[in-house]
Structure 1
Amino acid sequence: MTAAGDRVLQGNCAVSDAPAVATLRDAGAVLIGKANVPLALADLQSLNAAASRV
């Protein structure tokens, strides 16, 4: 799921992997985790309405 830190986008699922992620998956990597980002990537901290501070 990808929300870019915005409540409006909560529940949004990406339709494809980023090229780097696809390369890693093709090589057999098992990817776990999710990054929390500030609203619209517009700040240095990760506090937003869609998730808590990280």
Structure 2
Amino acid sequence: MTERRGHLRIEFATAAGHHPLHVARAVRTAVTATLTSDATVAVLITAMNVTA
């Protein structure tokens, strides 16, 4: 996670079987709910662990 001038950027991986967009939205919503400032939140999924 990085923070710069009222902006948070969160990077993480998600597991197989999880829809990346749903995960990103859920993370952004949860983080935004805990903030005490008006910071913006960006979520970046850097990897998806896919098993065959």
| TM-score class normalised by the smaller sequence | 0.3 to 0.5
- State the TM-score, normalizing by the size of structure 1: 0.32
- State the TM-score, normalizing by the size of structure 2: 0.33
Q: Which one has more relative contact order, counting CA pairs under 8 Å at least 6 apart?
A: 2
Higher strand residue share:
2
Structure having the higher Rg = 1
